[in-house]
Amino acid sequence: MSLFICPLCRGALQENARSYVCGQNHVFDIASEGYVNLLPVNRKHAKQPGDDRNMVRARNRFLSQDFYSPLRDALSARIAQTAPEAAAFLDCGCGEGYYSSGIVEALAAAGKAPRAAGIDISKSAVRLAAKRLKTVEFAVASCYHLPLMEESVDVLLNCFSPLALEEFRRVLKPGGVFYYVVPAPKHLWEMKETLYDAPYENPQVSPEYDGFARAETVSVTRRVLLPSQESISDLFTMTPYLWKTLRAGVERLKALRSLEVETSFDIHVYQKK
Ligand SMILES: [Zn+2]
């Protein structure tokens, strides 16, 4: 049985070789790469919602060089250590599956047998994730309408993705754990100094959320040397600064051949009450 449910009638989905089918015979084809599209047409607000192919490719090139591996390792180690034996794991906003792949590997190495699923609104991203990882179910879906049953998830990861708290509360089991990854105040500081005349730090947030107990915050920091204009440009393309930078700032960044930059993340860990 799949972790996913039918987006039309909310019934359980059975996974066959080529499709997912619910009890009411709603059929969702599995693409050749191995993912399924569970985004109902009436919730698709753009032709290709989410990150477009260029952004996805840039992010995939960047992450594949492991510049963000300390974040992946920190998440993997903690989840492998604390997740239950047959944990149901959901990567909400999974992108190309970079974090999922590390976490699923670490769980297996710890002798655990997780059921893992990832969703993202971007079809380009989900396609790459499904190609990368065959042991995880991937679907194109919205985090605001998760195709998952009430109280079905033990561990939920939300890494640089929209915070859909109501849905996270609904799908997590009582006692289930929610990892919320946000940029720390100085994340990408040197890049911002290049882009902006008066850069500002990211706000330090440690919010409390209804229905969740905050367990801890884990900080991960590493200075990274981006060795080429391509790696600098790939990083820029995967940030929101892509949309918020004047031409002069972009020109300054394009003139760089290398850039040493701080990467720093806060992993907020919550437990559902
Ligand atoms: Zn159905």
Percent of the chain with pLDDT over 70: 98
**CATH 3.40.50.300 is held by the domain 13-272:** no
Mean pLDDT calculated for residue range 211-215: 95
Instruction: Find where tokens 């020109």 sit.
Output: 251
Beta-carbon contacts of 65 under 8 Å, excluding residues fewer than 6 positions away, are: 231
> Cα separation of 97 and 100, whole Å?
5
Collapse the DSSP code of 232 into the 3-class scheme (helix H, G, I; strand E, B; otherwise coil) and give the result: helix
Q: How far is CA 85 from CA 41, 72, 176, in A?
A: 37, 20, 13
Q: Over 70: is that where the pLDDT of 228 sits?
A: yes
Distance 197 CA to ligand 1 centre (A): 53
pLDDT at res. 206: 74
Q: Which residue has the higher pLDDT, 17 or 154?
A: 154
> Cα separation of 236 and 245, whole Å?
10
Q: Over 90: is that where the pLDDT of 240 sits?
A: no
Model confidence pLDDT, tens digit, residues 147-199: 999 999 999 999 999 899 999 999 999 999 999 999 999 999 999 999 999 99
Q: Over 70: is that where the pLDDT of 43 sits?
A: no
Distance 149 CA to ligand 1 centre (A): 13
pLDDT at res. 164: 95
Q: How far is CA 159 from CA 72, 90, 95, 183, in A?
A: 10, 11, 9, 10
Q: In this predicted structure, which of 13-27, 46-60, 248-262 has the lowest mean pLDDT?
A: 46-60
Distance 7 CA to ligand 1 centre (A): 7
Contact in structure between 146 and 40 (CB atoms under 8 Å): no
The residues whose Cβ lies within 5 A of ligand 1, an ion, are: 6, 8-9, 11, 22, 24, 26
Beta-carbon contacts of 110 under 8 Å, excluding residues fewer than 6 positions away, are: 80, 81
Mean pLDDT calculated for residue range 222-233: 97
Model confidence pLDDT, tens digit, residues 45-97: 666 777 788 889 999 999 999 999 999 999 999 999 999 999 999 999 999 99
pLDDT at res. 51: 79
pLDDT at res. 52: 84
Distance 40 CA to ligand 1 centre (A): 11
Average per-residue pLDDT for the chain: 94
Mean pLDDT calculated for residue range 233-242: 92
Distance 84 CA to ligand 1 centre (A): 30
Among residues 257, 171, 260, 273, the alpha carbon closest in space to that of 222 is found at 260
Query: Which of the 8 DSSP states describes residue 145?
Result: G
When pLDDT is cut at 50, 70 and 90, the band that residue 245 belongs to is: confident
The domain limits of the chain are 13-272
